Amino acid sequence: MTTLTEEIAAAAARLVVEEGLEYGPAKRRAARDLGRGASRSPNMPDNDAVEDAVREYLSVFCADTQPAELAALRGVAALWMERLAEFRPHLTGAVWRGTATRLSAVHLQLYCDDCKSAELALIDRGVDYDVGSVTGPRQQPVDVLSLAQRCGALGEPVTVFLTILDHDDLRGALKVDAQGRTQRGDLAGLRRLMTETSTKDTP
């Protein structure tokens, strides 16, 4: 019998894949849709449970399209990691974890000696970007730069988010989770993933 937690996770997974929601908003909306509006409900699944449900949803409903979309997004990520190599870029989020679709954004974390240096690099390149903020690893606001990158493989622009972190925050960034998976990886790690995936797809 399916538990309420599993129902919320499955409903959230559908919202993540079909509407491109992040896990937090997807869980809250799924709970509301199921009549369980309290975000602190004991039935609320954790992110690992939602990710497992996303992987299952992708395997059932998107097996024919998602691998190519993921490869295209990883290509965009690699492009910007090469362009911003001096800032020690690490890829995180669905594109790194392998659950991204064409609705997903590329999330890069930049580890900078000077928090304004990455922004200046974009200005020097003539790149249009917007500035926002999120709570960083030290529970302090950090800048997030967002830009649009045209993706030929998808035939549409992809949003790239650049989270500006301190160089010292790189320590411990590659710790593995309970499943032995990392939350982020550098360009070399991304290229290994891309090679492994293309090898699997080769008959």
Structure tokens at 51: 């990710």
pLDDT given for residue 169 in this prediction: 85
| Half-sphere CA count of 175, side-chain side, radius 13 A | 7
* Residue 160 to residue 83: CA distance in whole angstroms: 13
pLDDT in tens, the chain (203 residues): 468 899 999 999 999 999 999 999 999 999 999 887 655 667 899 999 999 999 999 999 999 999 999 999 999 999 999 999 999 999 999 999 999 999 999 999 999 999 899 999 999 999 999 999 999 888 889 999 999 999 999 999 999 999 999 988 887 677 766 666 788 999 999 999 999 877 665 44
SS3 113: coil
* Residue 90 to residue 173: CA distance in whole angstroms: 9
- This model's pTM is above 0.85: yes
* Residue 48 to residue 45: CA distance in whole angstroms: 8
pLDDT given for residue 139 in this prediction: 84
Q: Are 11 and 33 within 8 A, CB to CB?
A: yes
pLDDT given for residue 21 in this prediction: 92
pLDDT given for residue 155 in this prediction: 96
